[in-house]
Structure 1
Amino acid sequence: MNKKLRVQFLLIPVVLILLIGTFYSLPYYVTKPGMAKELHPIIEVENGFDEEGSFMLTTVRMGRANIYSFLLAKLSDYQKIYPLEDIRGEEESEEEYNVRQLHLMDSSKLSAIEVAYKKAGIPVQYEYKGVYVLNVVESMPAHEKLLPGDRIFKVDNLDFTSSEEFISYVSEKDAGEVLTLTYERRNKEGEVEVAVQTFPEDKSKVGIGIGLVDDKEIQVEPEVEIDSEEIGGPSAGFMFALEIYNQLTEEDMTRGYQIAGTGTISTNGKIGRIGGIEQKIVAADRAGADIFFAPFEEGAEDSNYRAAIRTAEDIGSKMEIVPVDNFDEAIAYLENLS
């Protein structure tokens, strides 16, 4: 065998090992700093006011680990490794996890709009659209008939006005009775028959085996559009609310600063804890943010704010880290900026 053929022959197992390392998934997820993205281009309030600076959401990049990403995360300061069960629920598929994350993002948008409009003194109303399927239990009748992301808006040709009403209707049926469900999937309507069955863990209750939440649409004037693309999770809600409020009010809350931050937001304006605060600090610092809002969690020892302070000091960031518990606190801070 000549030297050239010998080298080619030896390269084959090396290439195979590299391919296996790239495509073989480990039972872990790896997270790393994502991006800090300006919100003005993706949030548009009809006839809204402009701003000199900008509000930015911060993200964490997450993906299923392979051998290389796992080893790299072990050697990196701001990459983290999580076991599969810490990210996805028990028996939750990848598709169900992604649907759940996108629904959490949609819910955060609704809360952000409500908080911002109410703060601006503008009334809000909701239009109920049905129930949204989050997950489907494999051992129950809905399996392979309904999918995560389906919107059910009729049962036995009857409209209902809440998920509680839907659950109540189904729970009154006897095991074996068949329901006709009208649903929407990828903008197309469909109809499916699903039998009611007792739950394996509780024979006294019946159902069809879906996890669900209300699907509703907020109605406001002026209208607002949020194009969050494929970003999932609830952690951008607080920053969404700031951007929407800023476009609703003539006074520019940014004062020309680049303002990043993170935190969930409830309809009463409370700002909640999120994951990956250290990686979001890194992302915001790289993007040149001047100020970073972090959930204070009423001064908890392990609060996002304290972790953010430690990270900012560790990377030598000049950002001002601002603790916040609710939306009003954030607005008061911005109003006092020079």
Structure 2
Amino acid sequence: MEKRIKILNVLLVLGIVMILLVFIPLPYYVTKPGLAEPLGPYVNVAGAKKDDGDFMLTTVSMSKANIYSYIGTYTNSVHHLYKEKEILSEGESNDDYQFRQLRYMEESKQAAIVNAYKEAGKSYSINKTGVVIISLLKDMPASKVLKLGDIVTKVGEKEIHSVNDFTNTISSSPTGTNFQFSIIRNGKNKKVSITSKQFKDEPKRSGIGVSIVENIKLSTNPKVEIDSEEIGGPSAGLMFALEIYDQLSEENLAKGHEIAGTGTLDTEGVVGPIGGISQKIIAASKAGAEIFFAPNENGKRNSNYKEAVKTAKEHNVKMKIVPVNTYADAIEYLKNLKSSS
């Protein structure tokens, strides 16, 4: 009886230890295949029809590592391990990171709308009103004055409409320049003063220590709404643009196929590389995608496209991987695609 109690006590302690290991975070992040789902429910163009087939959003799942997920990255080739500093900027919290990713998604959606409406010959207008602060570098002057989400509309008397307006103004001034910023914070106008200093890791360069994106407001006809919920990052730009164009156009662009893909997109239609392409290939394949658009990076040696092809072969994925450098490449491929029926 006494021996049995001892065994039970040991098992109980082991059980408690194993449970605790789940909740002890490590200084790493683990990524793995996320979701691949139709974009139709996320995008609503006024008066749009419903066509056969789908354009699919693909995601990567990322979480703080515990001992089990850490070990899992050594036994599963599509589970990847990253150090905290590879994910977070210096001094950035998890909440700060999420804010930055959501702002990247906003930029991605705006670029998608511009490309789709341009391709469809529909009316749109762009109004640029300043730049949004999306990251603050610890130990640099801006971190003591500005907050995430602040919109900078002026530096001194110079109106700011673009990222270049802002960066050129700051970088062209000597170290120790005192800048007067006009900002909008929580809907209220405010003026703040910040003095530039040298960057610790780049002593020949000075600044105030911020990352920014343009504050763009779009007006479209017909109206379009994109509900991306809490999905962050810039990698859905290409696929959002295809879904929007499909809803704007009279033709059925998907032609009954299940089409996934990934890639950043700028307002000029250039498709850029993303992280986690291998994991997105697995997610799309599991969701039943037949075709996958992958950034070709103009044939770069280690392009997303080449990594996608390699992953597809290693995991016996039957999807057709299609390389694209631009939004126009994807549109041309789809216009020549035969119907699934």
* TM-score normalised over the length of structure 1: 0.86
Q: Name whichever of 4-13 and 133-142 sits farther off.
A: 4-13
What percent identity do the matched residue pairs reach? 41
Letter in 2 for 1:189: K
Paired with 1:177 and 1:275, the residues of 2 have a C-alpha distance of 38
**1:106-144 Cα shifts (integer Å, max 9, x gaps):** 111111111111111234321123221122233244435
Paired with 1:317 and 1:76, the residues of 2 have a C-alpha distance of 16
Letter in 1 for 2:18: L
Letter in 2 for 1:212: I
Paired with 1:58 and 1:147, the residues of 2 have a C-alpha distance of 31
- 1:97 aligns with 97
- 1:196 aligns with 195
Q: Equivalent residues in 2 for 1:1-338 (5 A)?
A: 6=6, 9-10=9-10, 13-153=13-153, 160-163=160-163, 165=165, 168=169, 179=180, 181-185=182-186, 189=188, 191=190, 193-199=192-198, 201=200, 208-338=208-338
Aligned CA distance change for structure 1 residues 177 and 106 (closer, same or farther; 3 Å): same
Preserved contact between residue 150 and residue 183 of structure 2 (Cα < 8 Å): no
Letter in 2 for 1:245: Y
Question: Structure 2: 5+ residue runs without aligned partners?
Answer: none
Letter in 2 for 1:148: L
Q: State how many pairs are aligned.
A: 336
Paired with 1:57 and 1:92, the residues of 2 have a C-alpha distance of 27
**1:135-170 Cα shifts (integer Å, max 9, x gaps):** 223324443543223334467899654455556389
1:2 is displaced (CA, Å) by 5.5
1:25 is displaced (CA, Å) by 1.9
1:189 is displaced (CA, Å) by 3.4
**1:195-251 Cα shifts (integer Å, max 9, x gaps):** 435446589987654332321112221121111111111111111111011111100
Paired with 2:31 and 2:204, the residues of 1 have a C-alpha distance of 42
Aligned CA distance change for structure 1 residues 275 and 98 (closer, same or farther; 3 Å): same
Secondary structure of the 1:41 match is: helix
Secondary structure of the 1:135 match is: strand
Question: Structure 1: 5+ residue runs without aligned partners?
Answer: none
Paired with 1:200 and 1:277, the residues of 2 have a C-alpha distance of 33
Paired with 1:325 and 1:179, the residues of 2 have a C-alpha distance of 41
Aligned CA distance change for structure 1 residues 109 and 206 (closer, same or farther; 3 Å): same
Q: Name whichever of 216-225 and 295-304 sits farther off.
A: 295-304
| Aligned residues: CA RMSD | 3.1
Aligned CA distance change for structure 1 residues 324 and 159 (closer, same or farther; 3 Å): closer
1:296 is displaced (CA, Å) by 2.2
Preserved contact between residue 141 and residue 194 of structure 1 (Cα < 8 Å): no
Preserved contact between residue 54 and residue 256 of structure 1 (Cα < 8 Å): yes
Aligned CA distance change for structure 1 residues 272 and 174 (closer, same or farther; 3 Å): closer
Letter in 1 for 2:185: E
* TM-score normalised over the length of structure 2: 0.85
